[in-house]
Every structure is written in C-alpha cells, then in structure tokens.
Amino acid sequence: MADFYPSTLASIRRYLLLLVCLACVATTTELWMMGHHEDPWQWAPLAVMAVSVVGALWVMATWSASAVRVFRGLMVVLMIAGAVGAGLHYRANMEFQLEMDPSLGGFALVEKILHAKAPPSLAPGNMALVGLIGLVAVWRSEWSSVEP
C-alpha cells in the first residue's frame, strides 16, 4: 500500500504539468488566430507561454533541481505577464470608454470596462492561473521522496 501514494503524487504532478502545457498551447493558438501579434506588447504573452511549455517539458523529462527552479521562475513570470496584460487591457478599455462617453466615471466606468469584449479586461488572468497551476505541480518537489 505504501507504493501507491508515491506513484499517485508523481502522476498528479505530471498531469498538472501537462495541463500547463495544454493551457499555454491553447491560449497561444487562440491569441495567434485573433491577431494578437501586432506590436511587442502583444508578442510578450506568446513568448512567455512558449518558453513555459519548454520549461514544463524539461521538468517532465529530467525532474532535476535546476529544471524545477527555472520552471518556478517561469511560472512567476507567467503570473506577472498575466497581471500586466490585465492592466494593459483595462487601460485600453478605459481609454476607449472615455472616448465614447467622457462623462463616465466611478463604478459606471469600471462596469463598462470590465464588460468590454475587445480587449477582454480579465482574459490575461488566465495566464496567472496557469502559473499557479504550474507552481502547484512542483510544490515542495525538492524535499519530497516522491520524485516522478
């Protein structure tokens, strides 16, 4: 019975890393198909997610301490990129809404911004969520005797 738990934890870690890869590939594909590559700010999430996939694959292939450290750093960068993207989307929506109706302010303005469809203000939060999933996948991995 003792052997069951190490293999279960190793499987969960691998599935979470595969989920990170899938989410990054799917999001990158969606952004590319939507034309999210017109300026350097729009290339940033594509690059961060591509490098994150490489990092996840490196961890799955070697499960070395250096791979895990680099991957953790990439997940933090992914989370920061998500926050910056949300800020950029929010700002772009705010400028558009104020251009459409300069009298908007307060909660009415925030509500219009958050309900805007292009660019979706909260969509970059997906990247932060993927970063958190990646961090959970390697949580305490260097102290565990349950290395995959």
Question: Which one-letter DSSP state was computed for residue 126?
Answer: H
| Domain ranges for the chain | 4-137
C-alpha distances out from residue 18 to 43, 88, 144, 145, Å: 23, 29, 20, 21
Single-letter residue type at 74:
L
At residue 133, does pLDDT exceed 90? Answer: yes
Instruction: Please write the tens of the pLDDT for every residue from 20-53.
Output: 999 999 999 999 998 888 888 889 999 999 999 9
Interatomic CA distance for residues 12 and 18, integer angstroms: 10
- Which three-class secondary structure string do you get for 35-81? CCCCCHHHHHHHHHHHHHHHHHHHHHHHCCHHHHHHHHHHHHHHHHH
Instruction: Please write the tens of the pLDDT for every residue from 87-119.
Output: 998 898 898 888 888 888 888 888 888 888 778
Q: How many CB atoms lie within 10 A of CB 107?
A: 8
